[in-house]
Amino acid sequence: EIVMTQSPATLSVSPGERATLSCRASRSVTSNLVWYQQRPGQAPRLLIYGASTRATGIPARFSASGSGTEFTLTIRSLQSEDFTVYYCQQYNNWPITFGQGTRLEIK
């Protein structure tokens, strides 16, 4: 099983600033990496697929990069609605696995 490790567990950033979230795979997942956002009480929302491509309707302030084992999600000009939980997920190998999540909180 590929273990996905997200860091940090909690990130404190001020509104308007930039947040950088990391996701590491225990072995290569090539570019088969997805990012989701989950707000309280809601289902997850697809943000990024293919490690770096924004899903339909996702604002340009969200960007992502990486391949292999190291991945980054960057959110610039943080808005109030961005302060929530983010998950990475790999589907390069079965079983599909998620990271444990990074909670982005207001500093």
Partner 1 sequence: EVQLVDSGGGLVKPGGSLRLSCAASGFTFSTYNMCWVRQAPGKGLEWVSTISTTSTYIYYADSVKGRFTISRDNAKNSLYLQLNSLRAEDTAVYFCAREGEFYASGNYYKGLDYWGQGTLVTVSS
84 lines the binding site for partner 1 (CB under 8 A)? no
- 16 or 42, CB closer to partner 1? 42
89 lines the binding site for partner 1 (CB under 8 A)? yes
Which long-range contacts does 74-79 make (Cβ < 8 Å, 24+ apart)?
Answer: 74/18, 74/19, 74/20, 74/21, 75/18, 75/19, 75/21, 75/104, 76/18, 77/16, 77/17, 77/18, 78/13, 78/14, 78/15, 78/16, 78/17, 78/18, 78/19, 78/104, 79/15
- 14 or 100, CB closer to partner 1? 100
Q: Which of residues 7-46 bind partner 1 (CB under 8 A)?
A: 31-32, 34, 36, 38, 43-46
Residues that bind partner 1 (CB under 8 A): 1, 31-32, 34, 36, 38, 43-46, 48-50, 53, 55, 87, 89, 91, 94-101
